[in-house]
Amino acid sequence: MPSHETFASLNESYASSFDKGNLPLPPSKQLIVGMRAPPASVLLSYDDSLMHGCSLSTSRPASQLGINLGEAHVIRNAGGSAKDALRSIVISQRLLGTREIAVFHHTDCGMLTFTNEVIRDKVKSEAPGDATVAEAVDRIDFLTFPNLEESVKDDISFLKENPLVLKGTELSGWIYDVNTGKVSCRQARRLDLSVKESQLRAKDVALLS
C-alpha cells in the first residue's frame, strides 16, 4: 500500500490535539537551520517514501502524519516547490531508493502574498546602487504562486512530466491547514512503468538491498 493512503488517518490524532493555529509566519528566533544530518538522525526511506513541503516554521510534516525517524526523506523549501526540490529528489530516488513522493503545501502560505518583482525590489532597495546584488537577484525565480490549489496541481504535473523522476513513482499532492492541523489530499497518481523499466527497477532494488 502506498504510504500516502494512510496519511489522512494518521493525521487525525495529530489534528485532534493541535493548538498552534495562531502562530505567526515569521520564526520567533529569526533563525534558519541548514544541515546535513548525521546517519543516526537522517530520515532515511526504509518504506521508500519521500515527503516534500514548505519551510514554514510552524509546520512539522513528519509529525503531522505519524512518520518516524528512518521512514522518509523530508525535503523543505519556501513554498514547497517541486522544481526547487528536484536536485534533492533525484538524489533521494537514484541513490537511496525512494519510490513515492508526497507534496505538501499549506494554507496562509507566505508565497501567496508577493511576486518576483516585489522581492527583487526589496532586495535591491536594501543594497541601493549595488549592480552585483541587482544582477544576482534578477536571475532568481522565487517560484511564487497566486493560487494554493493550483500550486499543488502544478507541482504534481511537474513531477509527472519530468524525465528525471522515476517511472513507477507514487505521487500525491496535499494541503495542510495551519489553523486546524488537518491534511487533505488533492491529487494522487502513479507514473506507469514499461516492461523494460520494471526489469530495470528490480535490478535497482537488488543493488540497494
Distances (CA, A) of 18 to 4, 26, 62: 21, 19, 14
Binding residue per annotation — 4? no
Give the residues across from 188 on adjacent strands.
172
- Let me know: does 66 contact 10? Beta carbons within 8 Å: yes
**14 exposed, middle or buried (CB, 10 Å; 0-12, 13-18, 19+)?**
middle
Binding residue per annotation — 185? no
User: What is the C-alpha to C-alpha distance for residues 145 and 68, in angstroms, rounded to an integer?
Assistant: 31
Binding residue per annotation — 54? yes
Give the residues across from 52 on adjacent strands.
75, 103
User: What is the C-alpha to C-alpha distance for residues 62 and 43, in angstroms, rounded to an integer?
Assistant: 10
**98 exposed, middle or buried (CB, 10 Å; 0-12, 13-18, 19+)?**
buried
Distances (CA, A) of 11 to 7, 34, 75, 138: 6, 26, 19, 40
Q: Which residues are annotated as a binding site for Zn(2+)?
A: 54, 106, 109
Q: Which residues are annotated as a binding site?
A: 54, 106, 109
